[in-house]
Structure 1
Amino acid sequence: MKINRIQKIRELLEDTHSISINTLCETFNVSKYTIRRDINELEQTGFLKKVYGGIVLQEHEHQSPEPFSLRKSRNVQAKKKIARIAASLVKDGDIIYIDSGTTTMHMLSFLTKHQHLTIVTASVYVINAAAALNQFNIIATGGTLYVPSMAFVGPTVLNCLKDYNISKAFMASTGVSIEHGATNASPLESEIKRSLMGKAAQKFLLADTSKLDVASLMSYCKLKDLYGVIMEKNPPAHYVEYLENNHVSLLTKEISSISSLK
């Protein structure tokens, strides 16, 4: 019944804080038209907010992402060091995914010595920077532009990622904690990051230490699910211990060969 379905949507949203329309359709085995009618009713009560492709709990509206232009000017030197370390993991002929983020974007300038490198990305910044260097094979996912991150989101991105075998994925996040893992403030970007975590690739998280003990709106992976975590310096001891216990490589310096990991 409709009233029961709407109540269940409320309960799910209170638990998860954000849900995609596709997930709701699968959960209740109804059409998108039906789900959108239910969402419109709930939106009128002020309980939720509609975003592209899904809904978020209204009380979390204040956690919407900061504009890209503000985030990219923060901790620049730490981000560049992390990007240099990440680039040292790349080999000639790799097919890599560079996530949208103000740390991952710095990787491009450190990849210029590589040959036959394919870069898959949803980041507008990475697309433009890679194209300007005129030496990489660039695969842009397409999709709907999400201005706060200057990146593409939506089903087009997810469908694109299904088609490619990626050897290494360099992931970004807005918060990192042992309890919540790698987190992001955008439900739509989180959906893309979860999709990447499901691929048979080495997944590396690039995060400066200012993001530690911060939990954004949505978790997209546990730290133990990563192949490696790259930071500008060693995190507190309990993070080091957690990563060691879960066989996740912690990288704070450039390496000469990826075979030296783990």
Structure 2
Amino acid sequence: MKRRLSDIIKELRLTGHATISDLAIRLEVSEETIRRDLKLLSKEGLIEKHHGSATLRNYSSEPEFHHRIEENREIKIQVAKLAASSISDGDVVFLDIGTTTAFVAEALKNHKDLTIVTNSVVIANTIFAERGFKTYLTGGEIRSHDGGMFGPEAYDAIKRYCINKAILSTAGIHHAYGFLTHHLCEAELYSEVAKMAEVTIICADSEKYNRRAPIKLLDFEDVDILYSDHMPAKALRKELEKYNVAMRLLDGMAKNDVIENTAAD
């Protein structure tokens, strides 16, 4: 019960509002179960109930970084380690502002001779003192809720680097829309990063599967490898395979080995 209530809150954080039928489908329970759960959450003052739907109180489009980094923390750490294992010594690596990406930065500390390019103050602070590493911040306006740097300065700066591997995060991966985000500035910057990188990698725990966010970050065809913990359901898996997105998963299952091996050469 407690886990399901937490899952409902996570779903409502994406857009602030959801119908009972949508929540029932996403959480794979009955609509009557969702109604009972919403009644409990309403009594706790966390949501507002409406006819056939619910709204998150004090909704913000994205939780603060320090809250997000604690969600599914252990899974994110393991996914990050798996992604870090694909980085070769001497690579030029772009790291975005995501929480899983922050764990990738930690996992890269055993590497040598890396050049790290990032628009994250958090990641730069994590890795700048590593011996043998070169770390570059893009510049731009710093967002207060996550330490991300955006704007014309960041966009112009990224064009100066020859990026071997770009490691990006996403707010959701939906079979009909691709990789999604809450912020237009992220889509603008990271679509340019994906164009420039030899290999574009997405790191995301499986709770991002079939979640929606208002803005398209990247199309499936823009991504080379997805690192996650479990295989997605049929509809999403079909789209990933259609566009040759290699899947590297903690549960030991993998698809499209040739794609990753080719990209890494």
Q: TM-score, normalised by structure 1?
A: 0.71
- Using the TM superposition, give the Cα deviation of residue 245 of structure 1 relative to its aligned residue in structure 2, in angstroms: 2.3
Query: 3-state SS of the aligned residue for 2:211?
Result: coil
Match of 2:232 among 210, 235, 259: 235
Partner in structure 2 of residue 23 of structure 1? none
Residue 65 (1) aligns with residue 62 (2): yes
Q: 1:200 to 1:129 in 2, by over 3 A?
A: closer
| Partners of 2:170 and 2:155 in 1: CA distance | 18
Partner in structure 1 of residue 32 of structure 2? none
| Partners of 1:119 and 1:64 in 2: CA distance | 29
RMSD: 2.4
| Partners of 1:175 and 1:240 in 2: CA distance | 14
- Using the TM superposition, give the Cα deviation of residue 150 of structure 1 relative to its aligned residue in structure 2, in angstroms: 1.5
Partner in structure 1 of residue 112 of structure 2? 115
Deviations 1:82-127 (A, max 9, x none): 1011101100110010111111100122212321110000011110
Partner in structure 1 of residue 40 of structure 2? none
Match of 1:259 among 255, 258, 261: 261
| Partners of 1:175 and 1:148 in 2: CA distance | 19
| Partners of 1:109 and 1:69 in 2: CA distance | 16
Structure 1 spans left out of the alignment, 5+ residues: 1-60
- Using the TM superposition, give the Cα deviation of residue 259 of structure 1 relative to its aligned residue in structure 2, in angstroms: 2.6
- Which of 1 and 2 has higher RCO (CA within 8 Å, sep 6+)? 1
Match of 1:163 among 157, 160, 164: 160
- Using the TM superposition, give the Cα deviation of residue 237 of structure 1 relative to its aligned residue in structure 2, in angstroms: 2.8
Q: TM-score, normalised by structure 2?
A: 0.70
Structure 2 spans left out of the alignment, 5+ residues: 1-57
Percent identity of paired positions between Structure 1 and Structure 2: 26
**Given that residues 186 and 217 in structure 2 are in contact (C-alpha distance below 8 angstroms), is that contact kept between their aligned partners in structure 1?**
no
Deviations 1:192-218 (A, max 9, x none): 112112214210111111111112121
Match of 2:195 among 198, 204, 207: 198
Query: 3-state SS of the aligned residue for 2:239?
Result: helix
Partner in structure 2 of residue 21 of structure 1? none
Deviations 1:196-243 (A, max 9, x none): 122142101111111111121210211232101110122223322322
| Amino acid aligned to 1:158 | Y
Deviations 1:110-167 (A, max 9, x none): 2123211100000111100002434411011111101222111101101100111101
Partner in structure 2 of residue 87 of structure 1? 84
Query: Superposed, which structure 2 residues align to 1:39-54 within 5 Å?
Result: none
Partner in structure 1 of residue 218 of structure 2? 221
Deviations 1:15-71 (A, max 9, x none): xxxxxxxxxxxxxxxxxxxxxxxxxxxxxxxxxxxxxxxxxxxxxx95622211211
Number of matched pairs: 202
| Partners of 1:242 and 1:88 in 2: CA distance | 25
| Amino acid aligned to 2:205 | D
| Amino acid aligned to 2:239 | Y
Query: 3-state SS of the aligned residue for 2:136?
Result: strand
Match of 2:135 among 133, 138, 145: 138
Query: 3-state SS of the aligned residue for 2:62?
Result: coil
Query: 3-state SS of the aligned residue for 2:128?
Result: helix
Match of 2:123 among 117, 122, 126: 126
Q: Which runs of 4+ in 1 moved over 3 A?
A: 132-135
